[in-house]
């Protein structure tokens, strides 16, 4: 997830400078193969801004997919152009999901810790079959927060996560920027929104505006059209992206403001869990 407005503009600017630079010195193996682009499109993801990330790719700003993920996912059903979407794999519930966020110099600041507490409270207030609970070590956690590497923090990535596993477990790692408070000046509620968004991916939520990311990210409309499984419409949620209030917590981009669950978000959460 990235910030919109001035920071996004700055990010875009920095990124384009960076990539312009990188492309001149790119190693042959660093190019993203055409097959990856076509595969992502086939699966219904946007390839706008696609970059390499760890052992795979960063898709739609904050979704981490590896080559094996791309192979595992299969295209099929039509995607309705409506509001809330889930992946095929969901977390088996009822379940308490243990969450670990490290502290200290290589961990997260007190402001980010407070953001996690608020994100957990937002979910738990919905009385879902999934509840989140902090645990004190990574070994006993289902989801572990890790700092993004310095390069990704500096280029403006705010966080990344993946989708639930085929065996019904939440995605196990959230890579989060450690400079949300110090560099971007975000308050607890804004940080909570970013964290809740990444947690949303871990339990199977896709971007509500993945079919047109310009709704939250600005720029030109970008519609993937049909094709791709793992974007299943959640019954009871309306047509069009939910931009009521500050918008759904699962919009692709954030302006750093607080996005507590909207009524449609609550419908979607209730339906899945």
Asked whether position 181 contacts Zn ion by CB under 5 A, the answer is no
**Of residues 49, 42, 44, the one with CA closest to residue 16:** 49
| CB-based contact 93:273 (threshold 8 Å) | yes
Shortest CB 197 distance to Zn ion, Å: 5
Q: How far apart are CA 71 and CA 179, in angstroms?
A: 34
Q: Which stretch binds Zn ion (CB under 5 A): 10-18, 60-68, 111-119, 166-174?
A: 60-68
From 1-9, 40-48, 93-101, 182-190, give the range in contact with Zn ion by CB under 5 A: 1-9
Cβ-proximal residue to Zn ion, closest one: 62
Q: Which residues contact 50 (CB under 8 A, 6 or more apart)?
A: 32, 36, 37, 40, 57, 58, 59
Query: Which listed residue (62, 118, 152, 224) binds Zn ion by CB under 5 A?
Result: 62
Binding range to Zn ion, per CB under 5 A, among 18-26, 56-64, 147-155, 184-192: 56-64
Least CB distance to Zn ion at residue 149 (A): 19
- Per the CB < 8 A criterion, the answer to whether 267 and 256 are in contact is no
In this structure, the number of other CB atoms found within 10 A of the CB of residue 222 comes to: 18
Q: Which of 73, 227, 226 is nearest to 163 (CA)?
A: 73
Least CB distance from residue 62 to Zn ion, whole Å? 4
Is residue 242 at the binding interface for Zn ion, with CB under 5 A as the rule? no
Report in angstroms how near the CB of residue 198 gets to Zn ion at its nearest: 7
Q: State the pairing for strand pair 95-100/85-86.
A: unpaired
Cβ 6 to Zn ion shortest distance, Å: 20
Give me the residues that bind Zn ion (CB under 5 A), please: 1, 62
């Amino acid at each position: 997830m990235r910030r919109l407005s001035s920071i996004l503009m700055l990010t875009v600017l920095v990124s384009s400078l960076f990539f312009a630079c990188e492309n001149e010195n790119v190693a042959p193996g660093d190019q993203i193969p055409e097959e990856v682009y076509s595969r992502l499109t086939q699966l219904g993801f946007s390839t706008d801004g696609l970059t390499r990330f760890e052992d795979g790719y960063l898709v739609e700003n904050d979704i981490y997919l590896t080559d094996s993920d791309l192979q595992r996912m299969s295209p099929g059903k039509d995607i309705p152009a409506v509001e809330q979407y889930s992946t095929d794999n969901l977390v088996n519930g009822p379940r308490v999901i243990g969450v670990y966020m490290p502290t200290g110099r290589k961990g997260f600041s007190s402001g980010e810790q407070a953001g996690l507490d608020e994100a957990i409270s937002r979910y738990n207030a919905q009385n879902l079959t999934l509840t989140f609970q902090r645990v004190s070590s990574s070994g006993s956690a289902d989801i572990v927060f890790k700092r993004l590497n310095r390069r990704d923090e500096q280029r403006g990535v705010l966080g990344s996560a993946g989708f639930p596993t085929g065996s019904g477990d939440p995605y196990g790692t959230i890579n989060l920027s450690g400079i949300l408070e110090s560099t971007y000046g975000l308050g607890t509620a804004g940080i909570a929104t970013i964290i809740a968004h990444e947690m949303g991916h871990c339990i199977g939520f896709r971007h509500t505006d993945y079919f047109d990311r310009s709704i939250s990210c600005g720029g030109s409309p970008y519609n993937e059209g049909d094709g791709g499984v793992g974007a299943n419409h959640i019954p009871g949620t309306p047509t069009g992206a939910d931009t009521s209030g500050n918008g759904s917590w699962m919009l692709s981009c954030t302006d750093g403001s607080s996005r507590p669950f909207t009524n449609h978000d609550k419908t979607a959460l209730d339906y899945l869990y």
